Structure 1
């Protein structure tokens, strides 16, 4: 059963998809349970992914990357998350936010910050969410004030749920720079080295899912960065993120599809290798119907997601398609994981079972990159276009 078969994948993205599958089978899947149990950061696997050219390679060739496009990153996401979501997230977060610097940063910023990430000498992250604010991008309170005399920006506030907050060399950080009436024009993006004075970060306590990926709580206490670390134009941060998240939500759809595929695989194998009431469990019509529903939902989500990838890549009502793909794919992952747990019966709750790990992991993508309730707002508002 090859649920992630390549027929819907654009031809140019199939080679990197095959690379990702081979890597996942060799490095991620065999270590997944170990890292889930320990909750340790998978440095060795991340470094192996770097050596394989599968980490931070959406950065263009001009700055040291492979220039992988949206279709190729989406294809990698499906394969990594099918093997393990926690390790997969770690590998995909290693350059998270760097795309904003490439799109809007100065040539000096790209040379100083992008190239070391593309060459896998550094890792980065994106700092947006706060302890009391997640999906409301125009409600963040972390501030950035310019100290004209010192030629610096002074940051104050907190960030929460930030991937690589502790491990990263630098972050792309979203902060409030004004109090104008246009609440969407009050925010800007900054490059913040994690060794900047006034930057402190600690790991968030252990999570139930995606345990091989580390998120952190950042406290910015008069954190000072050079004024040239402003990315692009002051006040354009909200709009930068809106565009960035359109691409990101397509990839998160890939997260959901990889998890859904894992759930279906586990359920199929289990019911075809177990007997009850002197019959193979797969012979019961109720079981067959559950598997049929899982497969139909998966195929519908995958078709939508790949169609949405094309719409976003071509800039055709990108917000609608990105939100639709992310919502459908991550919710199908939850549906498939719950059904797979039911088919496994009592064994589903055993820590050692892959289906148990998948069941925990699927709860997370419905929240990150904008909770699905917010995505439904976007889908409704942009349906008229």
Structure 2
């Protein structure tokens, strides 16, 4: 890596916008990514295998499940600390970073709304690195329409019986339990009050999961297709109160979308680093490629995309943390940052020319990865609906 690349890599995701209390975790994530993720990222991308060894190292480094509160064994990282971690890990590799993040995905819902015994039994093993969890919301026929899900839970004595399917569920195979969103009512006048959240152990009778076939990006992260066939769980596995599931998710996704903004920022920074190094080290027509004004303008535009998105995302993190029109700011951050990543990856491909299509080159991996965050945690078209409806006008 050239001196110029090393300089820009430090500045692109600098600490200037980051609150002081998040500096330490940001530096820890940066060092971990350099030591444990970057050296194996290409290998895991090619194989598509689950990165158990990196996840174990991340657990030992204190970077897994640390959003869980100290009372339950975690470090109680807040939204800004999770964002600081995300942008550093995703710059190194999106698939491995998502695996690390998904190790405790959905646990926040149990911590915020569950009973103390649920937190004791389910959160502590996740915080200790002894168990993995997941969040089961999306279905084969719908992802963004939370009031259109059909997986249903019905009461039968002292049990809930769940039937339906879930799709795109991170750790659906690997997890020890999932927080699952299911329909428990049928009131046409209250679509949003018909859903509840449940803790579903993956060894429960009637729970069947298999990996979704390989994806074009995020290959080191595994998603599952889950079939629930008369899956029985104890009635006390209901999280919070019946009918509150939609509102729990809405709150959860406001935080999650800001962190997904960090996914986009990390990927955008990776694209800029790759393009910067390539054009400074390559010659054409008797000079290095970076001396052409058209190339300089592309690199300038990439930095405009990243830095404007990063400013908005960190501002949004503060607004959401303070519960100031959270849905609006979360949607802005998620949409802007993930689309900045797409813009930077596209320009990075152009600057690499014919070599951009070689799978051995990191830019081609980044280019495929950036297509995915614009879809998950609510597709960006849905985010635009939220921005319009919740605009402070």
TM-score (norm 2): 0.97
Match of residue 309, structure 2, among 282, 301, 305: 301
CA distance, structure 2, for counterparts of residue 377 and residue 90 of structure 1:
29
TM-score (norm 1): 0.99
The equivalent of 2:182 in structure 1 is 175
The equivalent of 1:158 in structure 2 is 165
| Aligned residue runs from structure 1 range 214-253, under 5 A | 214-253=222-261
CA distance, structure 2, for counterparts of residue 244 and residue 8 of structure 1:
24
SS in 2 for 1:365: coil
SS in 1 for 2:241: coil
CA distance, structure 2, for counterparts of residue 278 and residue 22 of structure 1:
38
The equivalent of 2:206 in structure 1 is 198
Q: Post-superposition shift, 1:306? A: 0.1
Match of residue 320, structure 2, among 287, 306, 312: 312
CA distance, structure 1, for counterparts of residue 299 and residue 30 of structure 2:
24
The Cα offsets for residues 2-35 of structure 1, whole Å up to 9 and x where unpaired, read as 2111011000000010000000000000000000
Q: Post-superposition shift, 1:40? A: 0.2
SS in 1 for 2:129: coil
CA distance, structure 2, for counterparts of residue 123 and residue 216 of structure 1:
14
The equivalent of 1:7 in structure 2 is 16
SS in 2 for 1:121: coil
Q: Post-superposition shift, 1:277? A: 1.3
The equivalent of 2:4 in structure 1 is none
Match of residue 144, structure 2, among 120, 129, 135: 135
The Cα offsets for residues 73-121 of structure 1, whole Å up to 9 and x where unpaired, read as 1011000000000000000000000000000000010000000001111
Match of residue 340, structure 1, among 345, 348, 372: 348
SS in 2 for 1:145: strand
The Cα offsets for residues 161-204 of structure 1, whole Å up to 9 and x where unpaired, read as 00000000000000000101210000000000000000000000
Match of residue 257, structure 1, among 233, 254, 265: 265
Q: Post-superposition shift, 1:276? A: 1.0
The equivalent of 1:189 in structure 2 is 197
SS in 2 for 1:272: helix
CA distance, structure 1, for counterparts of residue 288 and residue 74 of structure 2:
51
Match of residue 358, structure 1, among 347, 352, 366: 366
CA RMSD between the two structures: 0.5
| Aligned residue runs from structure 1 range 61-72, under 5 A | 61-72=70-81
CA distance, structure 2, for counterparts of residue 29 and residue 381 of structure 1:
40
Q: Post-superposition shift, 1:384? A: 2.8
The equivalent of 1:47 in structure 2 is 56
Q: Post-superposition shift, 1:145? A: 0.2
1:115 aligns with 2:100: no
The Cα offsets for residues 290-337 of structure 1, whole Å up to 9 and x where unpaired, read as 111110111000000000000000000000000000000000000000
The equivalent of 2:38 in structure 1 is 29
CA distance, structure 2, for counterparts of residue 301 and residue 384 of structure 1:
20
Residue segments in structure 2 that go unaligned for 5+ positions in a row? 1-7
CA distance, structure 2, for counterparts of residue 352 and residue 88 of structure 1:
20
1:91 aligns with 2:100: yes
1:270 aligns with 2:278: yes
The Cα offsets for residues 25-64 of structure 1, whole Å up to 9 and x where unpaired, read as 0000000000000000000000000000000011011000
CA distance, structure 2, for counterparts of residue 344 and residue 36 of structure 1:
20
CA distance, structure 2, for counterparts of residue 351 and residue 254 of structure 1:
25
The equivalent of 1:146 in structure 2 is 155
Residue segments in structure 1 that go unaligned for 5+ positions in a row? none
Q: Post-superposition shift, 1:279? A: 1.7
CA distance, structure 2, for counterparts of residue 133 and residue 123 of structure 1:
25
Match of residue 285, structure 1, among 281, 293, 307: 293
1:370 aligns with 2:375: no
